[in-house]
Amino acid sequence: MRARRQIPKEQDMAEFDVIVIGAGPGGYVCAIRCAQLGLKTAVVEGRETLGGTCLNVGCIPSKALLHASHMLHEAGHNFEKMGLIGATPKVDWAKMLSYKDEVIGQNTKGIEFLFKKNKITWLKGWGSIPAAGQVKVGDEVHAAKAIVIATGSEPSSLPGVEIDEKTVVTSTGALALPKVPKSMVVIGAGVIGLEMGSVYARLGAEVTVVEYLDAITPGMDGEVQKTLQRLLSRQGLKFVMGAAVQGVTKGKGTSRVAYKLRKDDSEAAIEAEVVLVATGRRPYTAGLGLEALGVEMLPRGQVRTDDRWRTNLPGLHAIGDAVAGPMLAHKAEDEGLAVAEVIAGKHGHVNYGVIPGVIYTTPEVASVGKTEEQLKEEGRAYRTGKFFFMGNARAKAVFQGEGFVKILADKDSDRVLGAHIIGPAAGELIHEICVGMEFGASAEDIALTCHAHPTFSEAVREAALACGDGAIHA
Ligand code: NAI
């Protein structure tokens, strides 16, 4: 009997196993893991370079400017105390920007190298999804068994505020100003506002942060919020709290930011050379064609996904800033890894209860798990162990004795529920707690772990000791 001709199913004709749309931290990590798992993978990216917002106009360039401006601050404030005498360096802004661009270049090229190494195809251009299992880039339509939306987010502005990225800027413009302004108004005391505000304050600008709420960094531990605001104020940042910005009017050389104080509805305004709008970001999914496909969205514009990052359209997944959850590069990376495993038929998992958050000011701020406010709201019995960096020899030696480590542990089981750190290298120290939480550690487990002396990490151990019989150097 003649064998029946096999008619390939549409899926079997797919050119790729996976097409990832967007080469930010979520997308590129997802693609690399897909390739490692043996899937034929392509990434669609319209920027000239890989790495998305984080590498090109976000996390990485801001860290370069934070580092350079921190060095300047150290030279001006602490060098003499250590016997380092001499003229404080002057700022060559053009050179600082090219240092920043070099850092970006090294990292974006690094991802290009990783794509080549893992045989990932870069489909250059902006992608859309004309039908299930298809991605259109330019005039070409590519077929894929699985598609991952990893298109990230874009800055969201306010009504009455027109962004020109020159004098009224988002974080993107703030990373490439033509000169260091004499004055800057930052709208929003969130992560971007405080990090970029710190950079320009250290470089000599008069920085005023106008914030709608009564506390900075919404969602952070209350004590950390207060300490950070106090320390940043001491560094010269001014804060106008409880102020709803009404609009920005451009004038000659300066822009006028009008605001209304929430406590009494009184109106006021402030002028500055540059206005940085840092009032949050929104998912970037425009142009993908999701509406025509009937892809379900959440009220705040994110793509709706289930616990395996699947949308309601078969074979279509979404991760990172484009879906619900904190807009953080590392959260996107974790989802990228996990969705790759899911697509490869394995088990992908993200523990949303243990995602650290870091603010790269000086001092740094880092937190993971529950805040005291959340625990109180949940009515949970907990113990607090707190240790001030003032009792840490290493921190004092490098003029960073401000701040504290606070560990929150369950009152009965002693299991660590959260930690909040403000102080030197907080963004590094937090990971000891993250690992501990992943392993279900008790505060005592951390307290009984030998910590090298002299390190900043000893402050974490001391806070853990403070959850029990007490810290030693307090
Ligand atoms: P954000 O959500 O952290 O802060 C925005 C702030 O603007 C809030 O405090 C809010 O109350 C305030 N605001 C909103 N409307 C206002 C108005 N009309 N007048 C005055 N204040 C107003 O947003 P941000 O800083 O723009 O960051 C965007 C996203 O990027 C966040 O999700 C953040 O986590 C992420 N990001 C993370 C970084 C990190 O992990 N180090 C660095 C930079 C950004």
Task: Return the ligand 1 atom nearest residue 321 CA.
Answer: 32
pLDDT of 27 strictly over 90: yes
In this structure, are 457 and 389 located in the same domain?
A: yes
User: Quick one: pLDDT at residue 195?
Assistant: 98
Whether 272 is in a domain gets the answer yes
For residue 373, give both structure tokens: 């406010």
In this structure, are 390 and 307 located in the same domain?
A: no
CATH number at residue 326: 3.50.50.60
Tens of pLDDT along 230-253? 999 999 999 999 999 999 999 999
In this structure, are 344 and 359 located in the same domain?
A: no
In this structure, are 369 and 345 located in the same domain?
A: no
pLDDT of 379 strictly over 70: yes
**H helical segments located in 357-442:** 372-378, 393-397, 426-438
In this structure, are 145 and 294 located in the same domain?
A: yes
Last residue of a domain, one of 260, 279, 298: 279
Tens of pLDDT along 309-318? 999 999 999 9
Q: Which member of 77, 349, 453, 473 is catalytic?
A: 453
Task: Return the ligand 1 atom nearest residue 217 CA.
Answer: 9
Q: Return phi, psi of residue 66, to 5°.
A: -65, -40
Give nearest CA residue, ligand 1 atom 4: 190
Percentage of the residues of the chain whose pLDDT score is greater than 70: 97
In this structure, are 346 and 364 located in the same domain?
A: no
Cβ-count burial of 238 within 10 angstroms (0-12 exposed, 13-18 middle, 19+ buried)?
middle
Average per-residue pLDDT in the chain? 96
User: Quick one: pLDDT at residue 7?
Assistant: 46
Question: Which of 154, 192, 199 for a ligand 1 pocket mutation test, highest count of atoms within 8 Å of Cβ?
Answer: 192
User: Quick one: pLDDT at residue 8?
Assistant: 45
Q: Any catalytic annotation for residue 349?
A: no
Task: Return the ligand 1 atom nearest residue 213 CA.
Answer: 11
Give nearest CA residue, ligand 1 atom 34: 327
Whether 4 is in a domain gets the answer no
Last residue of a domain, one of 302, 331, 350: 350
Question: Which of 60, 270, 279 for a ligand 1 pocket mutation test, highest count of atoms within 8 Å of Cβ?
Answer: 279
pLDDT of 12 strictly over 90: no
In this structure, are 265 and 308 located in the same domain?
A: no
Structural domains of the chain, count: 3
In this structure, are 379 and 237 located in the same domain?
A: no
pLDDT of 376 strictly over 70: yes
**Closest by CA position to 55, among listed 163, 150, 172, 147:** 172
What's the distance, Cα to Cα, between the start and end of the chain in Å?
88
Tens of pLDDT along 286-310? 999 999 999 999 999 999 999 999 9
Question: Which of 169, 212, 275, 330 for a ligand 1 pocket mutation test, highest count of atoms within 8 Å of Cβ?
Answer: 212
Domain, as residue range, for 84: 11-154+283-350
pTM here is 0.95
Please give all residues whose beta carbon lies within 6 A of any atom in ligand 1, as ranges.
158, 187-193, 195, 210-213, 218, 244-245, 278-281, 327-328, 358-360
User: Quick one: pLDDT at residue 13?
Assistant: 64
**d(CA 321, ligand 1 centre) in Å:** 14
Q: What is the mean predicted confidence (pLDDT) over 9-13?
A: 52
Q: What is the mean predicted confidence (pLDDT) over 434-455?
A: 98
**Closest by CA position to 147, among listed 5, 348, 300, 288:** 288
User: Quick one: pLDDT at residue 14?
Assistant: 78
Instruction: Decide if 31 contacts 335 (C-beta within 8 A).
Output: no
In this structure, are 256 and 318 located in the same domain?
A: no
Instruction: Decide if 248 contacts 162 (C-beta within 8 A).
Output: yes
Whether 2 is in a domain gets the answer no
pLDDT of 171 strictly over 80: yes
Whether 31 is in a domain gets the answer yes
User: Quick one: pLDDT at residue 88?
Assistant: 86
